[in-house]
Amino acid sequence: MTEPNDGPTGLAAENAAPTEPLAVESEDGQEQPDHAEFEGPRRRARRERAERRAAQARARAIEEARREAKRRASGRIANPPKPVARGVVRGLKMLLASVLLALVGVGLGFVLYFTPAMSARNIVVTGTGAVTREEVLDAARVRPGTPLLQINTNQVADRVAAIRRVASARVQRQYPSALRITIVERVPLAVKDFPDGPHLFDRDGVDFATGPPPPALPYIDVADPGPTDPPTQAALQVLTALRPEVAGLVGRIAAPSVASITLTLTDGRMVIWGTTDRTEEKAGKLAALLTRPGTTYDVSSPDLPTVK
Q: Are residues 255 and 203 in the same domain?
A: yes
Between 133-140 and 153-161, two packed helices, what is the crossing angle to 10 degrees? 130
pLDDT the model gives residue 273: 97
Give the per-residue pLDDT at 17: 42
* 304-253-195 Cα angle (round to 5): 165
| CA 147/CA 144 separation, integer angstroms | 9
Q: What is the pLDDT of residue 249?
A: 95
Residue 227: inside a domain, yes or no?
A: yes
Q: Looking at residue 95, what is its pLDDT? A: 82
**Looking at the structure, do residues 176 and 253 belong to the same domain, yes or no?**
no
Q: Is 274 a member of any domain?
A: yes
| Boundary of a domain, candidates 185, 209, 231 | 185
Do 216 and 231 share a structural domain?
yes
276 DSSP 8-state letter: S
Q: Is residue 224 part of a domain?
A: yes
Q: What is the pTM of this model?
A: 0.62
User: Which residues contact residue 144 at a Cβ distance below 8 angstroms, ignoring those fewer than 6 apart?
Assistant: 119, 120, 121, 123
Query: Quick check: is 131 in a domain?
Result: yes
| Residues of the domain holding 169 | 119-185
Report the pLDDT value the prediction gives residue 232, as an integer from 0 to 100: 97
Distance CA 32, CA 307 (A): 139
- Same-domain check for residues 170 and 253: no
Tens-digit pLDDT profile for the chain (308 aa)?
Answer: 444 444 434 433 344 444 444 444 444 444 444 444 566 788 888 888 888 898 888 888 888 888 888 887 876 554 555 665 677 777 777 887 888 788 767 665 655 565 666 888 899 999 999 999 999 999 999 998 899 989 999 999 999 999 999 999 999 999 888 999 999 999 999 999 999 999 999 999 999 999 999 998 999 999 999 999 999 999 999 999 999 999 999 999 999 999 999 999 999 999 999 999 999 999 999 999 999 999 999 999 999 999 99
Both 271 and 175 in one domain: the answer is no
157 within some domain: yes
Q: Which of 167, 185, 203 is the last residue of a domain?
A: 185
Say what the pLDDT of residue 164 is: 94
CATH number at residue 170: 3.10.20.310
CATH number assigned to the domain comprising residue 216:
3.40.50.11690
Question: Does a structural domain hold residue 57?
Answer: no
Domain final position from 154, 185, 216: 185
In three-state secondary structure terms, 208 is strand
pLDDT for 156 equals: 97
| 164, 148: one domain | yes
Residues 6 or more apart whose CB falls under 8 angstroms from that of 133 comprise 125
Q: Is 173 exposed, middle or buried (0-12, 13-18, 19+ CB in 10 A)?
A: middle
pLDDT in the model for residue 88: 73
**Rg of the chain, C-alpha, whole Å:** 54
What's the domain count of the chain? 2
Residue 171 included in any domain:
yes
Q: Are residues 178 and 281 in the same domain?
A: no
- Please check whether residues 280 and 216 belong to one and the same domain: yes
